[in-house]
């Protein structure tokens, strides 16, 4: 208590000092963390400052529509975003999913991104440009998966998705650089598919949310059971006697700040399962376990001057390898997910370059003969928040902790579904029900019942 009191005193003194660069206002006393300290109270604490977390925070304030209403805090443990899944993504968005909920979320997100300045524009600020490239996705299927792909396309068309089915002959006519051997049918997205800059979208959500009064701080959240009452002025949400209480452990410091709150939203991405697992829940509260784990995925960048031109879509091969154009100068990005037996160690973000040479390149060169002479330029790794149960997101309230909500486990499609996810979770918190999209099947209940939701389009 003494340490926390001294910390608050130092912060008060710092706030009163001039903030000129190089002056006393830029001085940080030894042992204190840089950046803003978390408040002692908040109505909602969002754990995770990636695009999903900031989308939730934005929608909470946008739907509340009160400038000085609910107090929302976003906590991100990596303020540099050097390891964040959002910015290490290749930035794709597609409508071609097989699960109706995923299709609906994609359609919502596509509309949101098309009108992004109406949602996230800030008065007197430059317009937002997420550098969207409408080049579509192209899925190739061999004979044994042709009927399944055709049925999926029929489902997509029934809900308004613009997608074409191409025979091998039609595929070769449209994309002459493709070797169509072993391809029985292909599906090609005609609208609302392509890729964009993930960093721009993250910053747009963050900037708009903060303009609406959302608070943020850097630190690692650790949660524990609490018997305390909700913070003063909190929204009228039923909180059971057993609820989650977050502590924010500041970076480069042994200091931590308990934050009294009514609602905790777990949007910690790849670490969502670890966050809940480390809470020390009694056995009856932690079953079933949240099946979300970090999975490392590589992205490789290469140059091939004779490769596909401006018409190049994001191609997903029959083998699972994928690539897309990166700019207009013969550069490309791509990779593939390893098998369960070959999953790489997630302890760091190092890249196994042999994986490209031995697994990815042969598949790409077979499909696109021009890639036989490509030259690798760089590579990086990022994390999927991988749902080992069925590779789909887990949304909504925890079944036994009424003040805990989940928004994680998207297994690679969290970025493109972030606008829809944020709105859905905000509706649950503020209104107690889904209003825009019915995403009840993505809730925790399916984990308890062991009912998997099948999604064919996990890349």
Can you give the pLDDT of all 459 residues of the chain as single tens digits? 555 556 555 555 544 444 433 334 444 454 445 567 899 999 999 999 999 999 999 999 999 987 778 999 999 999 999 999 999 999 999 999 999 999 999 999 999 999 999 999 999 999 999 999 999 999 999 999 999 999 999 999 999 999 999 999 999 999 999 999 999 999 999 999 999 999 999 999 999 999 999 999 999 998 876 644 455 555 544 444 467 889 999 888 888 999 999 999 999 999 999 988 776 666 666 677 899 999 999 999 999 999 999 999 999 999 999 999 999 899 999 999 999 999 999 999 999 999 999 999 999 999 999 999 999 999 999 999 999 999 999 999 998 888 999 999 999 999 999 999 999 999 999 999 999 999 999 999 999 999 999 999 999
- Please tell me the predicted confidence (pLDDT) of residue 4: 55
Q: Is this model's pTM higher than 0.85 or not?
A: yes
> CA nearest 260: which of 30, 42, 29?
42
Q: What CA–CA distance (Å, rounded) separates 359 from 339?
A: 11
- Please tell me the predicted confidence (pLDDT) of residue 224: 75
Beta pairing, strands 243-249 & 185-189: unpaired
- Please tell me the predicted confidence (pLDDT) of residue 18: 42
- Please tell me the predicted confidence (pLDDT) of residue 24: 40
Give the list of residues 6+ apart from residue 190 with CB closer than 8 angstroms, or none.
Answer: 136, 162, 163, 164
- Please tell me the predicted confidence (pLDDT) of residue 21: 38
Give the list of residues 6+ apart from residue 175 with CB closer than 8 angstroms, or none.
Answer: 138, 308, 311, 313
- Please tell me the predicted confidence (pLDDT) of residue 402: 82
- Please tell me the predicted confidence (pLDDT) of residue 279: 67
Contact 119/211 with Cβ under 8 angstroms? no
pLDDT digits (tens, 9 = 90+) for 141-159: 999 999 999 999 999 999 9
- Please tell me the predicted confidence (pLDDT) of residue 9: 58
The residue whose two tokens read 């999975």 is 295
Domains and CATH numbers, the chain: 35-133+192-227+240-291+388-458 (3.50.50.60), 134-191+296-384 (3.30.9.10)
């Amino acid at each position: 208590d003494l340490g926390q009191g001294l910390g608050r005193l130092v912060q008060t003194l710092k706030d009163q000092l001039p903030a000129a660069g190089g002056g006393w206002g830029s001085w940080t006393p030894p042992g204190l963390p840089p950046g803003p300290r978390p408040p002692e109270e908040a109505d909602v604490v969002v754990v995770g400052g990636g695009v999903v977390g900031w989308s939730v925070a934005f929608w909470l304030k946008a739907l509340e529509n009160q400038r000085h209403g609910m107090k929302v805090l976003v906590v991100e443990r990596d303020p540099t975003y050097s390891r964040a899944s959002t910015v290490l993504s290749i930035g794709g968005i597609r409508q071609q999913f097989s699960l109706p909920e995923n299709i609906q979320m994609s359609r919502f997100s596509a509309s949101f991104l098309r009108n992004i300045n109406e949602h996230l524009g800030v008065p007197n600020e430059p317009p937002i440009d997420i550098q969207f490239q409408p080049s579509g996705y192209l899925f190739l299927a061999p004979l044994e998966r042709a009927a399944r792909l055709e049925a999926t396309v029929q489902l997509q068309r029934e809900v308004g998705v613009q997608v074409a089915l191409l025979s091998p002959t039609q595929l070769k006519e449209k994309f002459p650089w493709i070797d169509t051997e072993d391809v029985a049918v292909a599906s090609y997205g005609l609208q609302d598919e392509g890729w964009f800059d993930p960093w721009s979208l993250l910053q747009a959500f963050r900037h708009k949310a903060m303009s609406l009064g959302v608070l943020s701080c850097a630190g690692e959240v650790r949660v524990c059971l609490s018997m305390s009452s909700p913070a003063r002025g909190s929204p009228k949400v039923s909180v059971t006697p057993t609820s989650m209480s977050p502590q924010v452990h500041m970076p480069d410091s042994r200091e931590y700040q308990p934050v009294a709150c009514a609602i905790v939203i777990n949007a910690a991405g790849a670490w969502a399962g670890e966050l809940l697992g480390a809470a020390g829940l009694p056995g009856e509260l932690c079953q079933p376990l949240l099946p979300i784990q970090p999975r490392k995925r590589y992205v490789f960048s290469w140059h091939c001057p004779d490769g596909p031109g401006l018409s190049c879509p994001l191609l997903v091969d029959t083998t699972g390898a994928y690539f897309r154009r990166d700019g207009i100068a013969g550069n490309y990005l791509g990779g593939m997910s390893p098998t369960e037996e070959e999953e790489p160690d997630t302890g760091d973000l190092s890249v196994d370059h042999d994986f490209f040479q031995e697994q990815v390149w042969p598949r790409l060169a077979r499909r696109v003969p021009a890639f036989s002479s490509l030259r690798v330029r760089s590579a990086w790794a990022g994390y999927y928040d991988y749902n080992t149960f069925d590779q789909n997101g887990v949304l909504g309230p925890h079944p036994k902790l009424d003040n805990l909500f989940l928004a994680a486990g998207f297994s690679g499609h969290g970025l493109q579904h972030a606008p829809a996810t944020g709105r859905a979770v905000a509706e649950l918190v503020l209104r107690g029900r889904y209003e825009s999209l019915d995403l009840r099947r993505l809730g925790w209940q399916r984990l308890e019942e062991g009912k998997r939701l099948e999604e064919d389009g996990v890349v």
